[in-house]
Structure 1
Amino acid sequence: MTSPFNFSENAPNQLLVNPKATKQEKNDLIYLQFEFEKNHGTKGYFLVPSSGSSKSENETVKLIALTQDAVITSAKRINEYFNFTADLNWGLVLPYFHVAGLGVYARAHFANSAVFFSDWEPGNLLNWINEKKIHLMSLVPTQIFDIVQRQIICPETVRIVFVGAASLSPELKEKALQLKWPIVEAYGMTETASMIAVKLEDQLEVMTGVSVAQTNDKLKIKCESLMTCAIQKVNNQVIFKTLENGWLQTEDRVEIKSKDGIKFLTLLGRDSDFIKINGEGVSLSQLRQALGAHPEMTLLALPNQRTGHEIVLAHETSVSRDTLKLIINEYHNKVRPFEFIKKIFAVEQIPKADLGKIKFKNLEEMIKGNPYEKL
């Protein structure tokens, strides 16, 4: 596939749009681009919709403005870190209209390597990898889940498979490793123009040229690949979010350690994932990991007047009663009693973004007032 991006100097701004987006969603993005260009001009930027999972009904998606220099810096940083060269082919089975796809094409462009694009078809994955001689890939956990379910053994040509560290469960990673998939967990976001840390052993190593610090346990990042700003319409008002003295403040809680001048991160979860039940601190991220890798179900924390919050399970109607019972029992064996599931909600389909991330706010709105089974 020919690159859909123009990496030449002074190229016009490039707005990344999902071809399957609704007319309203496309209009929202064009409007945000117009508002951005009033202040920043019409050249030199990639305007990338955030792939995040948190958005309310009265909000548009966030549009992240990345300079060409930011995207180029990120691509060259990753190429140099892993010594990616022209003879290593990229296989892309993620949308090109998100930062993951943009990052792959940028790395390939500056390494003079090839990119082969395909829709996600697990049944044809091996044939495609072998035919195109794929060496490098980026996947999301739902795709890893498909691979594990089908017990697909990785071809020997594949050298690295990047997967988001914040969302890959240890259980699923271990099963993929047993099938010989060379998983490398990476941490990054649209606002950083791709990954800024990689897990080669048991911790995320912060890459060269990236500074990290904390504010109230929340990670902040400084590097040359950060966004210029994020723009979003909330309650019909356009909101710009900019850097704070050159730092990007994230909502991710982390531990930071140093060794031999290198910084290492341990991800503790999103700040919004930390709740209290009966006065006890609870991490929803950790509870979801305890539940295991099941794309057709997830956990939510709903307000409760007596306890502060209660844990509920939302599952798709396709999940059988026996499967549900087994998974819940296994989960209850791993967690504290006040973290037990109190209610079960059934939905036709769990809402997800293009990259398979669950839209938790949408899901909460879906189950409001719905009948439930009490445990």
Structure 2
Amino acid sequence: MPAAGTPLPWDRGNGPCVMAPPHLRGWAEEAAAFLSRRGMDGITAFATSGSSGSPPKAILFTRRALDICARGALEHLHAESGDWCCPLPLWHVGGAMIYLRAALAGTAVHTLRGKWCPQAYADLMRSSGARWSSLVPTQVVDLVRLGLRAPSTAGCIIVGGGALDAETGRKARTLGWPIVQSYGMTEAGSQLATAFPGDSFHTDRLSLLPHWEVQTDKGGLLRFQGEGKLFGRLLTQTHGGFLLERVAPQEWWGTRDLVRLEGRLLTFLRRADRLVKVLGNWWIRMPSRTFCAAASRRLSWRQFHIRAPEWNWSPAVLPLPLWSRPAASGMRRPQAPSASAPSWKRPSPSRSWESWTETGCAPS
């Protein structure tokens, strides 16, 4: 259904707006109350983490900053006209920014209802005539796997939340899906750099959006500055309560991403720590020999590892989610939290704790 002029959640004027997935609803209400008590009723926050079992945090924005991010994306893609199709949840920054871009451009949003279904998405793109959309890599993989062809009206589909492998990208282009790789993070209101629709598919040398300035520190880690960046962070303390961390307007925000900069072109290289995002979840990477030794001695539940020759940072990956990060004494099976634990420590009702540990996958 098209949603032209639909009020955005942060336009309702009823205090701070904390965007969070359903399993963090209680936490989001507590976070909103905390922000309201500090006179921050105009703040919009996006929850991050939480599904991994680590304490969730919220990335805070002013409405003006989000508008700058949305306008920057519209300018970069020349997307001032044409409807959008949204297959992403509104509580995620990628989904929310689709609605904001459309609102600023005065166009409509056609929302994919219910669970992700590649056929339903292709049908909605065709029936709505939407020109713009956003997907995550696994959704593109689904379209390619089923051989679904894009409608001729599709103009540009932004791929975010991780890098899409080049082969899948080329196959998607062959099927008519005009996908472009982007690089970004919640702290940047979605995108920092995005390829142009007219180029062949590539994941390196992405063009910076016009509202960002970037640099690297001595270690090659990315830092960025601009009026669209986060206002602050709301951290959940392990003993309960919140900690508000403000970010000064003139402050450069540092990341843990190693990048290569060539003028206003950005190439993501890898994370500086031992974590890597695979299929939307953070994993710990380890050499194959270490993995095999650990698995034979310590792991009592079914695990697997992924070989990815195209990834130049490691010969193998140990798919161990953050909530089961190995302690210094060795890897042990995580214990299911009690029903009295905070909401962010409990699994979503739709997926049992056992199903997470048996597959080695945290919920997305």
State TM-score, norm by structure 2: 0.73
What are the within-5 Å matches in structure 2 for residues 205-354 of structure 1? 205-215=207-217, 216-236=219-239, 238-243=242-247, 245-258=250-263, 263-273=264-274, 300-302=284-286, 331=307, 339=315
Query: For 1:236-276, what per-residue CA distance to the aligned partner results, in whole angstroms no more than 9, with x for missing partners?
Result: 25333333642111111111112xxxx111101222237xx
Q: Which amino acid aligns with 2:149?
A: I
Contact 2:86 2:95 in 1 (8 A): yes
**Corresponding residue number in structure 1 for 2:43:** 45
Contact 1:311 1:339 in 2 (8 A): no
Mark the CA change 1:121 to 1:39 in structure 2 (over 3 Å): closer, same or farther: same
**Corresponding residue number in structure 2 for 1:348:** none
> d(CA) in 2 for partners of 1:207 and 1:80?
8
> d(CA) in 2 for partners of 1:309 and 1:219?
33
Q: Which amino acid aligns with 1:301?
A: R
Q: Does 1:173 align with 2:169?
A: yes
Contact 1:311 1:340 in 2 (8 A): no
CA shift, 1:189, in A, is 1.5
> d(CA) in 2 for partners of 1:198 and 1:85?
17
**Corresponding residue number in structure 2 for 1:74:** 69
Mark the CA change 1:212 to 1:369 in structure 2 (over 3 Å): closer, same or farther: same
**Corresponding residue number in structure 2 for 1:93:** 87
Mark the CA change 1:165 to 1:257 in structure 2 (over 3 Å): closer, same or farther: farther
CA root-mean-square deviation: 3.9
> d(CA) in 1 for partners of 2:117 and 2:69?
29
> d(CA) in 2 for partners of 1:361 and 1:178?
37
> d(CA) in 1 for partners of 2:39 and 2:172?
44
Mark the CA change 1:210 to 1:37 in structure 2 (over 3 Å): closer, same or farther: same
> d(CA) in 2 for partners of 1:231 and 1:298?
21
> d(CA) in 1 for partners of 2:91 and 2:311?
39
Q: Which amino acid aligns with 2:38?
A: N
More strand by share: 1
Q: Which amino acid aligns with 2:101?
A: R
CA shift, 1:6, in A, is 5.2
> d(CA) in 2 for partners of 1:309 and 1:229?
41
> d(CA) in 2 for partners of 1:223 and 1:181?
31
> d(CA) in 1 for partners of 2:294 and 2:331?
14
Moved more, 265-274 or 9-18: 9-18
Q: Which amino acid aligns with 1:234?
A: Q
**Corresponding residue number in structure 2 for 1:103:** 97
CA shift, 1:46, in A, is 1.2
Q: What are the ranges of 5 or more consecutive residues in structure 1 without an aligned counterpart?
A: 275-283, 289-294, 346-358
> d(CA) in 2 for partners of 1:192 and 1:145?
26
> d(CA) in 1 for partners of 2:11 and 2:32?
20
Contact 1:47 1:64 in 2 (8 A): yes
Mark the CA change 1:310 to 1:264 in structure 2 (over 3 Å): closer, same or farther: farther
Question: What is the percent sequence identity of the aligned residues?
Answer: 22
**Corresponding residue number in structure 2 for 1:127:** 123
Contact 2:45 2:59 in 1 (8 A): yes
CA shift, 1:161, in A, is 0.5
CA shift, 1:114, in A, is 0.4
Q: Specify the SS of the correspondent of 2:273.
A: helix
Contact 1:137 1:160 in 2 (8 A): yes
CA shift, 1:118, in A, is 0.8
Contact 2:283 2:322 in 1 (8 A): no
Aligned length, in residue pairs: 314
CA shift, 1:125, in A, is 2.7
Contact 1:299 1:311 in 2 (8 A): no
> d(CA) in 2 for partners of 1:90 and 1:193?
18
CA shift, 1:167, in A, is 2.8
Contact 1:144 1:176 in 2 (8 A): yes
State TM-score, norm by structure 1: 0.71
CA shift, 1:332, in A, is 7.7
Q: Does 1:158 align with 2:154?
A: yes
CA shift, 1:37, in A, is 3.0
Query: For 1:38-96, what per-residue CA distance to the aligned partner results, in whole angstroms no more than 9, with x for missing partners?
Result: 33422x2212112x5x8763x4211111110011111111112222234x010000001
Contact 1:90 1:114 in 2 (8 A): yes
Q: Specify the SS of the correspondent of 1:272.
A: coil
> d(CA) in 1 for partners of 2:311 and 2:99?
42
> d(CA) in 2 for partners of 1:231 and 1:147?
37
Mark the CA change 1:7 to 1:235 in structure 2 (over 3 Å): closer, same or farther: closer
Query: For 1:321-363, what per-residue CA distance to the aligned partner results, in whole angstroms no more than 9, with x for missing partners?
Result: xxx9xx97xx487789x8357x8x8xxxxxxxxxxxxx83135
